C-alpha cells in the first residue's frame, strides 16, 4: 500500500448520483436475463492443476479446537461503554484475501498474466484496489487479514531475526532484556536470511532458529527488535514465531513508532512459522529503539515456566521479488508478484505452490491451497478473490465453485456458505455502482470450476470470486480509473463480508461509519486548542451513523497516537506548550468499528497569546 492516507489527498472527482436503488437496499442477485460466459474466462485455464492431495494440517493443530482472535489491538484510552464491541464487528474473523494474478515466470522471462488494457494491467489494479481500500476497511472493522499475495506496496523491506543479535546493523539489532535464565532456544525452526534470493522449494522458515521467553504475571523481560529503516514512509509490520499448544495465548507485542506505542496481544498457539500481519505504521529513516522498533514483553494471563513467548523475526515493508526461478528474480515489488511466490516466502511447503511445470497454472491452485494451509480448524474465516473481467461486456459478476466451465450457468457445489457470501458481494457492489450509473450491469452470480474456489483444495471456509467490472470496457474504465470508485468498491466488499457474518450468526447488521468532515481547529485560550468537526455526509451506499469519534494527535502528518474517544463533535486539547506544532485527525466510530479513513490531518500551531496570530 503506498499509504492509507492517500485517500484524504485525492482530488474529489464527483459523478452526479442517479439516486439510490431503493430504501430497502440491495436485493438478491439472480442469473435471469444475464449475459452468457465472458470470452476471456471461457478461453483460459481457470482450473489449475487437478488431482492434488489435500493440504496437511499444521503440526500444532488440535482437531475440534476453537480458535479465537489471533491479534487484538489494545487501546489504553478506549472507553468500551461507548463502543459495545470495541474491536469491531469482524473481531475474531479471519479474511483470506486473494487479489488475482501477478507477475510470473514463463520459463524464459517474467510477465504479467494480463496485458495492458484501457490504462491498467489487471494483475496490478487488483492488488492495488485490495491493498489500498479493501484491507483498511476490513481492519477498521476488526478483521484479521491473511493475504495470499503481499499487500504492502512499499518496495523497501527490512527483516530483523533473532539470529541477527546485535551485529546485523545493516538490518537492525535483536536484543534480549532481563534475566538470561528466562530465555532459551526453541527446538522448532524459525526464519532465516540464508539463501536469499530463494531457489524454488527453499523454505525460509526451515533453516533458522527462534528463541523462547518464559511468561510472567507482570513484565520481567522483553526482546527488542530495532530496525534500520531505509527511508521515511508507511510500512506494514509483520511478526513470525513458532506456534505450539504451550505458547502464550496473549503474547504482548509493542510497536514503537514516531506516533508513540501501539500494543497488541497475539495468540501464539496459532499461525506459526509464517508472517502475521499486525498493522501499518509510518517510520522515519534511521535506527531508533524508541521510534523504529518492535518489542515482545513476557507479561501474560498464563504465566509460568511452561508457557513461553516465541521470538523469531520482525518484518516491515513488502520488498521486491526474492524467488529465483532459474532466470533471476523478477525485480518487481513483491505485491505485484503472483501468489505462487508469496506462498514460498510465507513458509508454505512446495506442495502448496509447485504442483506443475507451469507457474501460472500453479498460481491458480496456490491461492486456495495456501489459504487451506494457513487456516486452522476452528478458525472463523472467509476467502475473497478480487478480479476484473474482459471480453467485450460491462458490469459486475460474482462466482462460486461448480462443476461447469464458465458458461453462464449456476450449479453451486462449493463450500457451504459460499453462495450467500457471493450474493452479498454481488448485491453490495451493484448497489454501490448504480449510484453513479443507473443502468450499471448486474450480471449476476454464476458457478464455474475455478481452482481458486475448489473445495477439493480448500473446503475450510466459504469462498467467492468477484469480477468487479470489465477492464477492456472504455465505459467501465471511466469509473475504475478514479480512486474514489475503487475505494467504494472496497467498501462494498467489506460491507458484504459484514453482512454475510451478521446473516449467518443471526445478528443485527451494523456497518462502520463514514469519515467525519469539516475538521477545524482554533486556539481557545493559553495552552488550549479546540478541535471540532461535523458528522459524516449522507451516503446511500455508505455506513451507519457514528456513536463516537476518535481524535488522533501526532507530531507529523503521518504518525499519530492511539487516539482519544469523544462522544460529541468537538473536544478541547489542554496543557499545550506555546509555540508547539502538531497535527490532528478524526475518525468516526460505532459498534461495527472505525471509519477506514478519517479527516485529512490539520496542522495546529499553539499560540503564545492564546488566540490566533494575525498574519
HEC assignment per residue over 26-55: CCCCCCCCCCCCCHHHHCCCCCCCCCCCCC
DSSP 58: P
For residue 77, name the pLDDT band (cuts at 50, 70, 90): low
For residue 37, name the pLDDT band (cuts at 50, 70, 90): very low
What is the C-alpha to C-alpha distance for residues 539 and 543, in angstroms, rounded to an integer? Answer: 8
Instruction: Find the CATH number of the domain harbouring 541.
Output: 2.60.40.10
Instruction: Find the CATH number of the domain harbouring 391.
Output: 3.40.630.40
Strands 442-448 and 396-401, sheet pairing: parallel
pLDDT at 42 over 80: no
Which of 301, 317, 333 is a domain's end point? 317
Count of C-beta atoms within a 10 Å radius of residue 169: 11
Are residues 355 and 484 located together in one domain of the fold? Answer: yes
Are residues 140 and 183 located together in one domain of the fold? Answer: no
Mean pLDDT for the stretch of residues 13-18: 29
Mean pLDDT for the stretch of residues 409-414: 98
pLDDT at 34 over 70: no
Mean pLDDT for the stretch of residues 267-284: 98
C-alpha cell at 314: 520482525
For residue 283, name the pLDDT band (cuts at 50, 70, 90): very high
pLDDT at 4: 33
Contact 96, 421 (CB under 8 A): no
Q: Is 527 left (phi over 0), alpha (psi -120 to 50) or beta?
A: left
pLDDT at 79 over 80: no
pLDDT at 29: 43
Residue 67 within a domain: no
Largest CA distance in the chain: 76
Residue 385 within a domain: yes
Residue 305 within a domain: yes
pLDDT at 39 over 60: no
Instruction: Find the CATH number of the domain harbouring 171.
Output: 2.60.120.260
Name the domain count of the chain. Answer: 3
pLDDT at 17 over 60: no
Reduce the secondary structure of 538-593 to three states and give it as a string. CCCCCCCCCCEEEEEEECCCCCCCCCEEECCCEEEECCCCCCCEEEEEEEEEECCE
- Find, among 162, 158, 276, the residue nearest to 208 by Cα: 162
Mean pLDDT for the stretch of residues 398-407: 97
Higher pLDDT, 63 or 135: 135
Judged on CB neighbours under 10 Å (0-12, 13-18, 19+), 380 is middle
pLDDT at 186: 98
Are residues 401 and 351 located together in one domain of the fold? Answer: yes
For residue 609, name the pLDDT band (cuts at 50, 70, 90): confident
Residue 92 within a domain: no
293 three-state secondary structure = strand
pLDDT at 57: 87
Residue 88 within a domain: no
Are residues 231 and 252 located together in one domain of the fold? Answer: yes
CA torsion 238→279→137→556, rounded to 10°? -140
Judged on CB neighbours under 10 Å (0-12, 13-18, 19+), 493 is buried
pLDDT at 297 over 50: yes
- Residue listed under C-alpha cell 539463501: 195
Residue 378 within a domain: yes
Strands 529-534 and 517-523, sheet pairing: antiparallel
Q: Which residue range(s) make up the domain with 594? A: 517-605
DSSP 131: I
Give Rg (Cα) of the chain.
24
pLDDT at 286: 97
What is the separation of C-alpha 506 from the centre of its chain, rounded to a whole number of angstroms? 26
Which residues, 6+ apart, have CB-to-CB distance to 347 below 8 Å?
Answer: 203, 204, 205, 206, 240, 273, 274, 275
DSSP 398: E
Residue 552 within a domain: yes
Judged on CB neighbours under 10 Å (0-12, 13-18, 19+), 305 is exposed
CA torsion 105→109→113→114, rounded to 10°? 170
What is the C-alpha to C-alpha distance for residues 156 and 327, in angstroms, rounded to an integer? Answer: 22
Q: Tell me the CA distances in angstroms from 449 to 410, 446, 452, one per residue in order.
A: 11, 10, 9
pLDDT at 56: 87
Tell me the average pLDDT of the chain.
91
Are residues 111 and 197 located together in one domain of the fold? Answer: no
Q: Tell me the CA distances in angstroms from 108 to 202, 335, 358, one per residue in order.
A: 21, 21, 11
Which of 317, 335, 362 is a domain's end point? 317
Are residues 408 and 371 located together in one domain of the fold? Answer: yes
Are residues 338 and 408 located together in one domain of the fold? Answer: yes
Q: Tell me the CA distances in angstroms from 418 to 398, 463, 504, 507, one per residue in order.
A: 11, 5, 11, 19
Which of 479, 505, 531 is a domain's end point? 505
Mean pLDDT for the stretch of residues 167-188: 95
pLDDT at 41: 54
- Find, among 523, 500, 508, the residue nearest to 573 by Cα: 523
Residue 20 within a domain: no
Which of the residue ranges 1-5, 392-396, 506-510 would you say has the lowest mean pLDDT? 1-5
Are residues 383 and 487 located together in one domain of the fold? Answer: yes
pLDDT at 15 over 50: no
Q: Half-sphere exposure (CA, 13 Å, Cβ side) for 324?
A: 9
Are residues 481 and 384 located together in one domain of the fold? Answer: yes
Count of C-beta atoms within a 10 Å radius of residue 503: 15
Which of the residue ranges 24-28, 149-153, 432-436 would you say has the lowest mean pLDDT? 24-28
Are residues 362 and 386 located together in one domain of the fold? Answer: yes
pLDDT at 24: 34
pLDDT at 44: 54
Which residues, 6+ apart, have CB-to-CB distance to 199 below 8 Å?
Answer: 324
Are residues 352 and 460 located together in one domain of the fold? Answer: yes
What is the separation of C-alpha 481 from the centre of its chain, rounded to a whole number of angstroms? 22
Are residues 177 and 206 located together in one domain of the fold? Answer: yes
pLDDT in tens, 317-330: 999 999 999 999 99
What is the C-alpha to C-alpha distance for residues 218 and 140, in angstroms, rounded to an integer? Answer: 30
DSSP 335: G
Reduce the secondary structure of 64-92 to three states and give it as a string. CCCCCCCEEEECCCCCCCCCCCCCCCCCC
Amino acid at each position: 500500500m503506498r499509504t492509507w492516507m492517500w485517500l484524504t489527498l485525492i482530488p474529489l472527482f464527483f459523478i452526479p448520483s442517479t439516486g439510490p436503488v431503493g430504501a430497502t437496499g440491495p436485493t438478491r442477485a439472480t442469473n435471469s436475463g444475464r449475459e452468457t460466459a465472458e470470452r476471456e474466462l471461457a478461453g483460459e485455464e481457470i482450473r489449475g492443476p487437478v488431482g492434488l492431495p489435500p493440504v496437511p494440517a499444521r503440526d500444532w493443530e488440535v482437531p475440534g479446537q476453537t480458535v479465537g482472535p489471533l491479534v487484538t489491538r489494545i487501546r489504553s484510552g478506549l472507553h468500551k461503554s461507548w463502543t459495545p464491541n470495541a474491536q469491531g464487528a469482524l473481531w475474531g474473523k479471519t479474511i483470506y484475501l486473494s487479489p488475482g494474478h501477478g507477475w510470473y515466470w514463463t520459463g524464459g522471462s517474467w510477465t504479467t498474466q494480463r496485458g495492458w488494457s484501457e490504462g491498467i494491467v489487471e494483475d496490478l489494479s487488483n492488488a492495488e484496489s485490495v491493498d489500498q481500500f479493501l484491507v483498511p476497511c476490513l481492519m477498521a472493522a476488526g478483521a484479521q487479514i491473511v493475504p495470499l499475495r503481499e499487500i504492502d506496496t512499499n518496495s523497501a523491506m527490512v527483516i530483523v531475526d533473532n539470529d541477527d543479535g546485535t551485529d546485523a546493523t545493516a538490518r537492525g539489532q535483536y536484543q534480549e532484556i532481563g534475566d538470561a535464565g528466562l530465555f532459551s532456544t526453541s527446538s522448532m525452526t524459525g526464519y532465516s536470511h540464508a539463501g536469499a534470493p530463494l531457489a524454488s522449494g527453499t523454505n525460509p522458515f526451515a533453516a533458522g532458529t527462534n528463541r523462547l521467553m518464559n511468561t510472567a504475571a507482570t513484565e520481567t523481560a522483553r526482546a527488542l527488535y530495532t530496525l534500520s529503516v531505509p527511508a521515511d514512509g508507511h510500512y506494514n509490520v509483520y511478526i513470525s514465531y513458532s506456534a505450539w499448544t504451550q505458547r502464550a495465548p496473549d503474547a504482548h507485542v509493542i510497536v514503537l513508532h514516531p506516533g508513540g506505542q501501539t500494543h497488541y496481544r497475539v495468540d501464539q498457539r496459532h499461525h506459526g512459522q509464517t508472517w502475521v500481519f499486525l498493522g501499518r505504521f509510518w517510520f522515519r529513516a534511521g535506527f531508533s529503539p524508541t521510534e523504529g522498533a518492535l518489542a515482545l514483553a513476557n507479561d501474560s494471563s498464563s504465566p509460568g515456566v511452561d508457557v513461553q513467548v516465541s521470538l523469531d523475526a520482525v518484518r516491515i515493508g513488502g520488498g521486491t521479488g526474492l524467488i529465483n526461478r532459474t532466470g533471476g528474480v523478477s525485480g518487481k515489488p513483491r505485491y505485484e508478484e503472483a501468489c505462487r511466490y508469496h506462498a514460498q516466502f510465507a513458509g508454505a511447503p512446495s506442495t502448496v505452490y509447485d504442483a506443475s511445470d507451469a507457474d501460472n497454472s500453479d498460481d491458480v491452485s496456490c491461492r486456495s491451497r495456501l489459504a487451506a494451509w494457513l487456516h486452522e480448524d476452528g478458525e472463523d474465516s472467509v476467502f475473497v478473490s478480487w478480479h476484473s473481467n474482459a471480453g467485450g461486456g460491462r458490469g459486475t459478476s460474482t462466482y462460486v465453485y461448480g462443476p461447469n466451465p464458465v458458461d453462464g450457468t449456476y450449479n453451486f457445489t462449493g463450500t457451504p456458505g459460499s453462495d450467500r457470501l457471493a450474493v452479498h458481494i454481488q448485491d453490495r457492489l451493484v448497489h454501490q455502482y448504480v449510484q453513479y450509473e443507473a443502468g450499471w450491469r448486474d450480471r449476476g452470480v454464476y458457478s464455474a470450476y475455478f481452482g481458486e474456489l475448489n473445495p477439493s483444495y480448500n473446503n475450510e471456509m466459504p469462498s467467492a470470486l468477484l469480477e468487479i467490472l470489465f477492464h477492456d470496457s472504455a465505459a467501465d474504465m471511466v469509473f475504475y480509473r478514479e480512486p474514489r470508485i475503487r475505494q467504494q468498491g472496497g467498501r462494498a466488499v467489506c460491507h458484504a463480508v459484514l453482512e454475510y457474518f451478521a446473516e449467518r450468526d443471526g445478528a443485527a447488521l451494523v456497518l462502520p461509519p463514514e469519515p467525519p468532515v469539516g475538521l477545524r481547529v482554533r486556539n481557545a485560550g493559553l495552552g488550549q486548542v479546540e478541535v471540532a468537526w461535523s458528522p459524516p455526509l449522507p451516503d446511500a451506499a455508505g455506513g451507519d451513523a457514528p456513536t463516537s469519534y476518535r481524535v488522533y494527535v501526532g507530531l507529523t502528518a503521518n504518525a499519530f497516537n492511539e487516539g482519544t474517544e469523544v462522544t460529541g463533535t468537538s473536544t478541547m486539547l489542554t496543557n499545550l506548550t506555546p509555540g508547539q506544532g502538531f497535527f490532528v485527525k478524526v475518525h468516526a466510530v460505532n459498534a461495527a468499528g472505525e471509519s477506514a479513513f478519517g479527516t485529512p490531518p490539520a496542522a495546529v500551531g499553539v499560540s503564545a497569546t492564546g488566540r490566533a496570530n494575525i498574519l
